[in-house]
Amino acid sequence: MDVPGAVVIGGSAGALDVLRAIVRALPPVIPCPVVVVIHLPSHSSGLAELLGAETSLKVKQAEDKEPLVAGVIYIAPPSYHLLIESSGTFALSVDPPVHYSRPAIDVLFETARDVYGRNLIGVLLSGASEDGAAGLQEIHAAGGTTIVQTPLSAEVAIMPAAALALFQPTYLWSPNELASSLSQLLSGSAI
Amino acid sequence: MRLEISEPEIAQLLEIIYQRYHYDFRQYAAASLKRRLQQALTHFRCATLQQLQDLLTSDESVFPRLLEYLTVQVSDLFRDPEFFLTLRQQVMPLLATYPSLKLWIAGCSTGEEAYSFAIALAEEGLLDRTRIYATDINDGSLRKAQKGVYPLDRMRQFTMNHRAAGGHGSLSDYYHASHDSAVMSPTLKQHITFADHSLATDSIFSEVQLVSCRNVLIYFDRLLQDRALGLFHDALCRRGFLCLGTKESVRFSAYAQRFQELSPEQKIYRRVD
């Protein structure tokens, strides 16, 4: 893979601590944007602040029509689906929930795959629903890099297990490996 | 796995829809439209967009059903209660200074937003002097909106929304239960005109004191957003109110300087000239 076009990360129950560890380990300069969908109660909008405390990289809630910029970590706003347009900008929608979730990981993953194809890294973490599995499979089918948290290490294994039932991801990592190796992948060094 | 469709194929289909049925989706945001078309393909049992296109041009009954996939939004009564609370506290006292009121709910879908405004206005003693124009491009949605019949099991959530939105009466004063349905009160309907109107192709029809168009602009591209905001600006009276969705903004539009923020949090603006 050349320089990745984007990293997309999805998770649900039990994903927050892993995500914080991943963000904490990221190098101060990364060559692409990182986009995150985590299922949270609709009123909680503090995820950007929470992650921002872990890194010197800019962390913000994604806005409609905003261009994706390398080095920035974007969070889906509560109660909206987050999509990526072929122009490299975000779009929001209030279309019905997917797997009972809005934002849905599948919606982000599928639209990201349409834009970045094989130059995409998709990461699926701990979670209590099957959201994200089909989207990650699409990233896999397009030749992108797919990373799944090991079900044994996940607080709730349903989400990673759903992905593994569909395909064999590029990497199957524990939280420690997720933090260190994703960081290496983004620094351009060999794993 | 989803069925593959390309953007040129989508553009071709939208062009045919425009030429044949005069519905203009050509400036809709592509990613959402693509997802909805993929769902439509499954519904119509088509493997490719070309097949759907053939079906569309050979069977007149297909388009109304396809339109459901392209436009329909499910909404709630008093969706985003904080918005309606702010509306009551900061906007309605100012609306009360007008001897008669006209409001425009643009993109009303099946009517929930229009009824929410009507109930809030009734509770503030303003409904008697108000005409609400609620517009949409989907005739099927407009017919449902006109009927104002919602599943009774949604009323529990709507009642909680209504209370959180500062409602002082009981929501049940504004509908009656019939079997599994809640039917909105005729006194509300008297003040609402549901009408066909396209933000993409039509012009303005009345001067209004308030426009509410929430979670519609996110489905448009930048140029169409500008067109819609231009219509709202022209329809509004001096110092009139514009309400957008919580994640929508005039900030990046050609009209950024023509509206002033009243509630940055709830995306309520006032027209400035």
- Asked if B254 reaches chain A (Cβ–Cβ under 8 Å), the answer is no
- List, as ranges, residues 73-112 from A with C-beta within 8 Å of B: 77, 80-81, 83-86, 91-96, 107, 110-111
Q: Are residues B1 and A138, on separate chains, in Cβ contact within 8 Å? A: yes
* Phi, psi for residue B109 in degrees, rounded to 5: 50, -125
- List, as ranges, residues 110-149 from A with C-beta within 8 Å of B: 110-111, 114, 134, 137-138, 141
Find chain B residues with C-beta within 8 A of A84's C-beta.
31
Q: Are residues A91 and B248, on separate chains, in Cβ contact within 8 Å? A: no
Q: How far apart are CA A184 and CA B57, in angstroms?
A: 53
Q: Of the ranges A142-156, B1-15, B88-102, which one carries the lowest mean pLDDT score?
A: B1-15
pLDDT in tens, A119-129: 999 999 999 99
Q: Are residues B31 and A137, on separate chains, in Cβ contact within 8 Å? A: no
Average pLDDT (B85-108) is 98
Burial, B203: exposed, middle or buried (Cβ in 10 Å; 0-12, 13-18, 19+)? exposed
Give the chain A residue whose CA is nearest to the CA of B75: A94
Question: Mutate which of B27, B32, B252 to test chain A, going by most A C-beta atoms within 10 A?
Answer: B32
Residues B34, A89, A124, A31, Cα dihedral to 10°: 140
**Chain-centroid distance, C-alpha A177:** 16
Query: What pLDDT shows up at residue A67?
Result: 95
For the domain covering B81-271, report its CATH number: 3.40.50.150
Query: What pLDDT shows up at residue B2?
Result: 80
pLDDT in tens, A23-51: 999 999 999 999 999 998 765 668 999 99
Query: What pLDDT shows up at residue A46?
Result: 87
Question: Mutate which of A42, A45, A94, A110 to test chain B, going by most B C-beta atoms within 10 A?
Answer: A94
Q: How far apart are CA B58 and CA A45, in angstroms?
A: 48
Which of B31, B245, B249 is opposite residue A91, by nearest beta carbon?
Answer: B31
Find chain A residues with C-beta within 8 A of B76's C-beta.
none
Which of B30, B219, B247 is opposite residue A86, by nearest beta carbon?
Answer: B30
DSSP string, B92-150: HHHHTTSSSEEEEEES-TTSHHHHHHHHHHHHTT-GGGEEEEEEES-HHHHHHHHHTEE
Instruction: Name the DSSP letter for residue A98.
Output: B
Flag whether pLDDT at A1 surpasses 60: no
Residue among B14, B137, B131 nearest B68 (CA): B137
Q: What is the mean pLDDT of chain B?
A: 95
Flag whether pLDDT at B74 surpasses 90: no
Residue among A172, A177, A176 nearest A161 (CA): A172
pLDDT in tens, B113-150: 999 999 999 999 999 999 999 999 999 999 999 999 99
Query: What pLDDT shows up at residue A148?
Result: 98
Query: What pLDDT shows up at residue A190?
Result: 59
Q: Give the three-class secondary structure for A88.
A: coil
- Asked if B218 reaches chain A (Cβ–Cβ under 8 Å), the answer is yes
Q: Are residues B218 and A92, on separate chains, in Cβ contact within 8 Å? A: yes
pLDDT band at B109 (very low <50, low <70, confident <90, very high): very high
Give the chain B residue whose CA is nearest to the CA of A96: B74
Question: Mutate which of A35, A93, A113 to test chain B, going by most B C-beta atoms within 10 A?
Answer: A93
Average pLDDT (A140-151) is 98
Query: What pLDDT shows up at residue A191?
Result: 63
Q: Are residues A65 and B252, on separate chains, in Cβ contact within 8 Å? A: yes
Domain made up of A6-187: CATH architecture: 3-Layer(aba) Sandwich (3.40)
Q: Where are chain A's structural domains?
A: 6-187
Outline which parts of chain B fall under CATH 3.40.50.150.
81-271
pLDDT band at B73 (very low <50, low <70, confident <90, very high): confident
Find chain A residues with C-beta within 8 A of B35's C-beta.
83, 95, 107, 110-111
ipTM score: 0.91
Give the chain B residue whose CA is nearest to the CA of A166: B1
pLDDT in tens, B188-208: 999 999 999 999 999 999 999
Amino acid (one-letter) located at B188: L
Q: How far is A1 from chain B (nearest CA, A)?
A: 23
Prior bond of A67 cis (ω within 30°): no
Q: What is the pTM of this model?
A: 0.94
